[in-house]
Structure 1
Amino acid sequence: MENKLNIANLPTKIERLENFSKDLNLNLFIKRDDQTGSEVSGNKIRKLEYSIKEALDLGCDTLITCGGSQSNHARSTVAAGIKVGMSTTLVLKSDVPPKIDGNFFIDKLLGADIKIITSQEYSQNRHEIMESLKNEMLTNGKKAYIIPEGASNGIGSLGYISFMKEIIDFENSTGTSFDTIVVAVGSGGTYAGIHMGNQIYCNGNKRIVGFNVCDDADFFVEKIKDIIKESSIYLDSSDQQKLTFKNIEIIDGYVGIGYAESKEEELDFISMLARTEGVILDPVYTGKAMFGLVNEIKKGSFKTSKNILFVHTGGLFGLFPKKDQFKF
């Protein structure tokens, strides 16, 4: 699992949310994967270190990937590609011309080749569109490598198996043991990697909880299973034998009005956390997931948890296009 690039600033910091911990009567910590870098900030770079290394090993010179117009993954892919001498073509969904703001602004600044398609085209044909681009590039003498949405596939998820080593190192050095790890789920790869890392390194002893920000829990349980199957081919036989589909836990009910759409109470929560802890969440992933976590703690869904670790997967740039929706 060490056949990867080294682009991210790792290990990322773990800090205790002091005020929230007091209010909730448990220990709530946050893993700052929003601080993996600047241009490549967020959880995606852990996956891209593996995906882009495979692309280079295959002799590719171009990356193709997809996402929404404010995709953190797309922005991170472009920046990481530049660092290793690769150009990137983005297939982004938007039913209206995207505003040059947030992640889309950074994509432009970094010089990405961008193809905008409708949400219907994205849902039904994005894979075929990316394959067509790959074939077109081949006729022009370029060799492209396709990275799926969120780098959420077998090789990408290896980045979050390795993530668990950082957790163990922190626990060993501080004496703090996390019984529960919580993460937003938007494409399944981050959760799949943490789930596998928990089984490989911790004998499955930690509770891994995901809050889906799109689709539903059943959809992601099946998708995570598929990613685990795909990831297993990269593991040695002893680690493969430790993998199971047991205890995949996704808590539904916090998608709100839709993917990347924000309710007033979600934005109010992001503002409140910023003023309470000095930590800024994003409106697409971590804002919804932390909002869900706090609500579920108050409902008693985490009454057996004493030390919870929330994974901050990044997304700061995605806040700026929503600035007019906040009420100050």
Structure 2
Amino acid sequence: MERLQIANLPTPIQKLDRLGEELGVNLYLKRDDFTGMEISGNKVRKLEFSVADALQQGCDTLITAGGIQSNHCRATAAVAAKLGLGCDLIIRGEIPNHFEGNLFMNKALGARVHLISPEESREEKMDEIVENLKSQGHKPYLIPVGASNAVGSLGYAAAIEEITEQENKLGIHYDTVVIAVGSGGTYAGLWYANQKQGAKRKIHGFAVDNSADTFVETITEILKEMYLNDGLAAPEEYKDILINDQYIGTGYAKSTHEELAFIMKTSREHGFLLDPVYTGKAFYGMVSEIQKGHFKDANNILFIHTGGILGWTHKQREMALKSI
């Protein structure tokens, strides 16, 4: 499959010595928030494959969708601007009073932003935009939410190869990998490459919106398509898709005082920033589970920081500052 080279790779791995010592584990952080600025985070890895496919098909406009603070939408807008492509974003959620965080970045990067309410259908809106663009002589390319399909997920299949090379150089094996799960494609790519390698890593995902059952179903469907595209025999059952949905809190892109206090404490004491939508919830969930003794079988834990710093809103910043 064709691939663009637009991310700053490989991203470094840092050992969190003091936090790991506090928790009684070997804890490492893979800085996928270092993949770039406008295109920072995990989404650019997926877009390297999705947008390459769009260009190969001769498309001139990217269309995708996401929530109010979607990192994927912002990254898509940035890649489109970089390559001179049109970009239409369907943003669904409670309509905000102000354009801030990723929503502001979408506009700054020149994307056409279509805000719809939670009750409206993203799919219907995307179909409408596709037809309008075609009638104007454009050739649009549809990217699903989070670029979470068989093509986009190749980005994190490639990330496993990158992690393996880093393991070899560092002389260490990460038996446990932890990520936030918002649409399922990052998890699917990691799981797929891990299985192809015959590796025994456990991939733990912490849901930020939907239930574990919903994500297992979504990830399984992506995996089936990945095996099909590779011409490989798919497994009869998809075991060990490990999704924890106990740390969603009050919902997608919504924060509790406890979550934000944890993020602020982590940044002050350990010198790295998490976001309130994705990595903050997942890192909080992971630390909580470690403290409960649920990661006792893990020798070396690798948390993938999938970015999202641009997603902080005014309300979340105010709540976070009150927690100090």
Common fold by TM > 0.5: yes
Between the two proteins, the alignment pairs up a number of residues equal to 321
Shift of 1:96: 2.6
Question: What residue in structure 2 maps to residue 308 of structure 1?
Answer: 301
Worse-matched range after superposition: 89-98 or 182-191: 89-98
TM-score (norm. length: structure 2) = 0.96
Instruction: Select which of 224, 231, 236 maps to 2:219.
Output: 224
Pairing 1:23–2:22 present: yes
Is this contact kept in 2: 1:18–1:277, CA < 8 A?
no
TM-score (norm. length: structure 1) = 0.95
Is this contact kept in 1: 2:61–2:87, CA < 8 A?
yes
Shift of 1:97: 3.7
Secondary structure at the counterpart of residue 159 of structure 1:
helix
Distance 1:214 1:94 in 2: 13
Deviations, residues 58-92 of structure 1 (Å, cap 9, x unaligned): 11100111111221110000101122221100111
Shift of 1:244: 5.6
Question: What residue in structure 2 maps to residue 235 of structure 1?
Answer: 230
Shift of 1:94: 3.1
What is the Cα-based RMSD across aligned positions, in Å?
Answer: 1.4
Question: What residue in structure 2 maps to residue 207 of structure 1?
Answer: 202
Question: What residue in structure 2 maps to residue 186 of structure 1?
Answer: 182
**Aligned residue identity for 1:280:** L
Question: What residue in structure 2 maps to residue 126 of structure 1?
Answer: 122
Shift of 1:95: 2.8
Is this contact kept in 2: 1:72–1:103, CA < 8 A?
yes
Deviations, residues 247-269 of structure 1 (Å, cap 9, x unaligned): 11111210001111101110011
**Aligned residue identity for 1:147:** I
Shift of 1:232: 2.1
**Aligned residue identity for 1:106:** M
C-alpha change, 1:105 and 1:243, in structure 2 (3 Å) is: farther
Distance 1:12 1:95 in 2: 34
Question: What residue in structure 2 maps to residue 275 of structure 1?
Answer: 268
Q: % of aligned pairs identical?
A: 48
Distance 1:236 1:55 in 2: 22
**Aligned residue identity for 2:317:** K
Pairing 1:37–2:25 present: no
Pairing 1:258–2:216 present: no
Q: Which runs of 5+ in 2 are unaligned?
A: none
Question: What residue in structure 2 maps to residue 195 of structure 1?
Answer: 191
Distance 1:286 1:49 in 2: 22
Shift of 1:235: 1.9
Question: What residue in structure 2 maps to residue 156 of structure 1?
Answer: 152
Distance 2:257 2:207 in 1: 19
Q: Which runs of 5+ in 1 are unaligned?
A: none
Shift of 1:129: 1.3
Is this contact kept in 2: 1:93–1:118, CA < 8 A?
yes
Question: What residue in structure 1 maps to residue 318 of structure 2?
Answer: 324
**Aligned residue identity for 1:52:** V
